[in-house]
Chain A
Amino acid sequence: MASVAHAHDHPPAAHQSSRVDSRLLGIYFFIASEVMLFGSFFSAYFFARVVVGAEGGWPPEGFELPVYLALLNTIILVTSSFTMHWALQAVKRGNRSGLVAGLTLTFLLGLTFLLIQAREYTRLGFAPYDNAFGSTFYGLTGLHGAHVFVGLNLLLYALIRSLRGHFGPEPEKHLGVELPGIYWHFVDVMWIIVYVTVYVI
């Protein structure tokens, strides 16, 4: 530890008492909180589906979900996780064009996901106010959609900065790619859980 007594120009460097970077740890706790938010929506979903139930099983009679369209969407989102990983690996190797390409691809894939979901909403044939099935369906997928939207924003910011040449291979210099990436993977994994719960089982 440096032990030079500082004039009050700037703080003494804090002692780093954990091997994990504080910003990484911060986003992990944030994601833990997000998981619990999804947990509350899943709770509402299972109360409607299991505790109350509906006539004719789940989905109730006369309601149908486009399982295969959503599967296509799932594939798109999972692919975007791989392109995100590619972007991060690229910046770690100092490959700027790889970073830009990876981020752009990820952003476009995420945008495609959202657009397909919006199209799906308009063609479903039921509304959130029709019954509890509709409410919980739109609740869960809508909450996830909102997270995709936030993720897209984060990706956009990283993309703008990468176009302006801000990131580099040193660990300190590509946190701005790594953190949105972690969030993006979380959104992706969450979608797989939502998809399996809402569409498949």
Chain B
Amino acid sequence: MAVEIEHATEHHPAHAPPPPRRGLRRLTGAGWLRVLWVMPLSFGLATLLVIGARAAMGFDPLWELQVLIVAWTVVVPLGFLAALGGFDYWAYWISGKPTRPEDHSGHGARTWKDYFRVNTDHKVIGIQYLVTTIFFFGAAGLMAMFMRAELARPGMQYVDTNTFNGLFSVHASLMIFLFIIPAFAGLGNYVIPLMLGAPDMAFPRLNALSFWLLPIAGLIMMSSYLVPDGGAFAAGWTNYVPLAVQQPDGNLMFQMGVQWAGASSIMTALNFLVTIITMRAPGMSFWRMPLLVWANFATSTLVVLATPFVAGSQFFIMFDRVLHTNFFNPEMGGDVIAYQHIFWFYSHPAVYIMMLPGFGIASEVISVFARKPIFGYRLMALSLMAILILGFSVWAHHMFVSGMQSWIRIPMMVTTLVIAVPTGIKVFSWLATLWEGRIRFATPMLFALGFVTMFVIGGLSGIYLGSVPVDIHASDTYFVVAHIHYVLFGGSLFTIFAGIYYWFPKMTGRMYDERLGKIHFWLTFVGFNVTFFPMHWVGLQGMPRRVADYAPEFGNWNLVISIASFGLGASTLVFLYNMIVSWRAGAPAGPNPWRALTLEWQVSSPPPIFNFHEIPQVVGSPYEYGVRGARHAVLNGDRAAVEEREKVEA
């Protein structure tokens, strides 16, 4: 059965833009001109609303910055979204007016301007996501450079302690909420509908909206530096109470930013889930889906179910700060530890949200570049689901030293060690896939292999930290910093790079520079290890994390770490240069430079505006590399050949 798509009696020709508005009417049409006057208007409106309400209720003083920040960070972004046109269709719908004919003018990109409007094409949205997240990646990376400059020598040199606290807090928040999670969402956005043989996502307008929430979240977090009296939020990305409640007003920017980023990722995840369930091409059973789709299926389930908890935890802090409630105030019957439970009930699954899509990318890349079927395909998919379920049962291992009831530690330690089993299954499956493969060391493969090795190191230190006795010793030291960077940098970031290089030819139609790609990999790989490996040692010797100053005996290692980290930062420039230059003038890549079987490689590069002229028919596994005559799908006119063969076989 085919989904009926609403068509108007008269529709515009192929994705033509709506007729341009003239004169003053240009100010009221969706777009940046409307943004220009709606944003100040909504800013003033929010201010008036707060002051008016405070005056009506007799509060003093009228100008209360905390309340204003909450109002601004809610109303101004909503105004921005409305002005840009994010709600236009729904506004027509709810007012009962006939909705615009489905002319698909929201689809596709013909000029660079099309990337700056509410665009409903999943391919455009995917690129919007990636470029935005790389911007925030750069910003957060610069903050890390500042931190390493300060930490190069013992004593205080460039920043004061509060600024330093702000630097690592904003660095982590941006990297997690504005880079790793949405970068995977961006890659998924681009690739998943193509891999499924679908013309777009299930809810294209929701998809467009969920992208535009992202820059809002990022700008809120970054502009926290501008908040008077105290600057950026500085309680770490975990924002523990009671510190978070006692901090200056900038802390609110974290809470509000997280709400926007969280809403964005829930909307995208919901979209992925519905797309994967309802829009698979004929023949694409769950057991024929590429592992990247499986990985995003598991991740999206985690996002939909877990993210509300981080929303809740930040709501409570906001209430405690602004409404003076007592959710976490022990003097008034609240529970401080409750915050950590609620926060980590999201944030541990979030670790898998930041890792599972990377597993999917690694599976795609390793199978293609080893020219072998993925080893244990079903077990790979099932281990993803096992991680999804177990991921909800380990959160308190972040709280071994928090002062919670000590009996919780043992079950949490056991589940933490158990979750290493499905993860181990995946690692061994990748190794078995490589075994006797005809490996080609192109840049995506290098990053995928770098990921497997680095992730194993991060996983092993994770097992250390998951054991109560070791954790009590190593908690809040640089050992933890080393561990999280081995899993999030060596794990997530390496797979993001692998994914970007792997799908770059598909997205742009051009080949990246292989030599620069390899240079980028080796600079990153070496810089990464020299930066983060010594942190294990200084951590075990007791250097505390999140402190701007340290004992002089750690000085030498920290100098090494800082120098290496600058090299690591510089390696990103190679990547950016390669991306920009290759996008403009790379060699044409052709539809399938990697000779891959999955569906996105069976169409032109970049793909046609609706992906497929005809929905493909899936006939086999996506990973039958090196198997003679194996096919994943039948497309455009190939049908005759396959029917012929089926007749012969019958």
Report which A residues bind B (CB closer than 8 A).
1-18, 20-22, 25-26, 29-30, 32-34, 36-37, 39-41, 43-44, 47-48, 51-52, 54, 60, 128-136, 138-139, 157, 160-161, 163-164, 166, 172
Asked whether, in the complex, the Cβ of A129 is within 8 Å of the Cβ of B325, the reply is yes
Tell whether A26 pairs with B202 under 8 Å between CB atoms, given A8-B608, A9-B14, A133-B333. Answer: yes
Closest to A46 in B: B338
Closest to B204 in A: A11
Q: Is B515 an interface residue (CB 8 A)?
A: no
Q: Can you identify 30 A-B contacts, CB atoms within 8 angstroms?
A: A1-B615, A5-B613, A6-B610, A10-B7, A10-B610, A11-B104, A12-B615, A13-B2, A13-B5, A13-B615, A14-B200, A16-B2, A22-B3, A22-B279, A26-B270, A40-B309, A40-B312, A40-B313, A41-B312, A43-B312, A43-B341, A43-B345, A44-B312, A48-B333, A52-B335, A129-B326, A131-B332, A132-B329, A135-B334, A166-B96
- Chain B 600-622 interface 0/1 with A at a Cβ cutoff of 8 Å (1 = within): 00000000111111110100000
Partner of B95, one of A29, A30, A34, A160: A160
Smallest CB-CB A-B distances: 9 pairs: A40-B312, A132-B333, A47-B338, A11-B199, A37-B308, A157-B94, A135-B325, A11-B610, A13-B2
Q: Is B53 an interface residue (CB 8 A)?
A: no
B282 nearest CB across to chain A (Å): 5
- Chain B 338-350 interface 0/1 with A at a Cβ cutoff of 8 Å (1 = within): 1001100100000
Tell whether A47 pairs with B312 under 8 Å between CB atoms, given A1-B2, A3-B614, A33-B305. Answer: no
Closest to A157 in B: B94
Asked whether, in the complex, the Cβ of B615 is within 8 Å of the Cβ of A40, the reply is no
Interface centre among B5, B278, B284 (most CB of A within 10 A): B278
Chain B residue contacts of A5, Cβ below 8 A: 613-614, 636
Chain B residue contacts of A138, Cβ below 8 A: 325
Asked whether, in the complex, the Cβ of A136 is within 8 Å of the Cβ of B327, the reply is yes
Chain A residue contacts of B284, Cβ below 8 A: 17
Partner of A15, one of B11, B15, B282, B311: B282
Stretch at the interface among B213-221, B316-324, B499-507, B553-561: B316-324
Excluding A17-B279, A22-B278, A164-B96, 20 further A-B contacts by CB distance (< 8 Å) are: A5-B613, A6-B613, A12-B199, A12-B610, A12-B612, A14-B199, A15-B2, A17-B277, A22-B202, A26-B274, A32-B305, A36-B308, A36-B309, A43-B338, A128-B324, A129-B325, A129-B326, A132-B326, A132-B332, A134-B325
Tell whether A18 pairs with B197 under 8 Å between CB atoms, given A9-B13, A36-B305. Answer: no
Chain A residue contacts of B306, Cβ below 8 A: 36
Chain B residue contacts of A47, Cβ below 8 A: 335, 337-338, 341
Partner of A17, one of B102, B273, B280, B333: B280
Closest to B639 in A: A3
A166 to B92, CA, bound (A): 13
A115 to B467, CA, bound (A): 53
- Chain B 284-328 interface 0/1 with A at a Cβ cutoff of 8 Å (1 = within): 100000000000000000001111110111001001000111110
Asked whether, in the complex, the Cβ of B102 is within 8 Å of the Cβ of A10, the reply is yes
Q: Is B266 an interface residue (CB 8 A)?
A: yes
Q: Is B203 an interface residue (CB 8 A)?
A: yes
Asked whether, in the complex, the Cβ of A139 is within 8 Å of the Cβ of B304, the reply is no
Number of chain B interface residues as a range:
35 or more
Report which B residues bind A (CB closer than 8 A).
1-5, 7, 11, 13-15, 93-96, 102, 104, 197-200, 202-203, 266, 270-271, 273-275, 277-282, 284, 304-309, 311-313, 316, 319, 323-327, 329-330, 332-335, 337-338, 341-342, 345, 608-615, 617, 636
Asked whether, in the complex, the Cβ of B333 is within 8 Å of the Cβ of A16, the reply is no
Chain A residue contacts of B327, Cβ below 8 A: 44, 48, 132, 135-136, 139
Chain A residue contacts of B308, Cβ below 8 A: 33-34, 36-37, 39-40
Chain A residue contacts of B325, Cβ below 8 A: 128-129, 134-135, 138-139
Asked whether, in the complex, the Cβ of B326 is within 8 Å of the Cβ of A135, the reply is yes
Chain A residue contacts of B281, Cβ below 8 A: 15, 17
Asked whether, in the complex, the Cβ of A51 is within 8 Å of the Cβ of B203, the reply is no
A134 to B327, CA, bound (A): 9
Chain B residue contacts of A139, Cβ below 8 A: 316, 319, 325, 327
Tell whether A10 pairs with B333 under 8 Å between CB atoms, given A39-B308, A40-B342. Answer: no
Tell whether A135 pairs with B319 under 8 Å between CB atoms, given A3-B614, A12-B615, A52-B334. Answer: yes
A11 to B120, CA, bound (A): 13
A47 to B316, CA, bound (A): 13
A175 nearest CB across to chain B (Å): 12
Asked whether, in the complex, the Cβ of A29 is within 8 Å of the Cβ of B273, the reply is yes
Partner of B3, one of A3, A13, A135, A160: A13
Asked whether, in the complex, the Cβ of A14 is within 8 Å of the Cβ of B312, the reply is no
A142 to B169, CA, bound (A): 31
Interface centre among A4, A44, A138, A157 (most CB of B within 10 A): A44
Partner of A129, one of B5, B323, B338, B613: B323
A164 to B14, CA, bound (A): 31
Asked whether, in the complex, the Cβ of B311 is within 8 Å of the Cβ of A40, the reply is yes
B422 nearest CB across to chain A (Å): 23
A32 to B302, CA, bound (A): 11
Chain A residue contacts of B326, Cβ below 8 A: 129-132, 134-135
Chain A residue contacts of B93, Cβ below 8 A: 157, 161
Closest to B200 in A: A11
A114 nearest CB across to chain B (Å): 19
B38 nearest CB across to chain A (Å): 21
Tell whether A44 pairs with B338 under 8 Å between CB atoms, given A15-B280, A32-B304. Answer: yes
Asked whether, in the complex, the Cβ of B316 is within 8 Å of the Cβ of A12, the reply is no
Chain A residue contacts of B11, Cβ below 8 A: 9-10
Closest to B303 in A: A33
Asked whether, in the complex, the Cβ of A14 is within 8 Å of the Cβ of B198, the reply is yes
Asked whether, in the complex, the Cβ of B279 is within 8 Å of the Cβ of A131, the reply is no
A131 to B331, CA, bound (A): 9
Closest to A154 in B: B94
Asked whether, in the complex, the Cβ of B95 is within 8 Å of the Cβ of A18, the reply is no
Closest to B197 in A: A15
Chain B residue contacts of A14, Cβ below 8 A: 2-3, 198-200, 279, 615
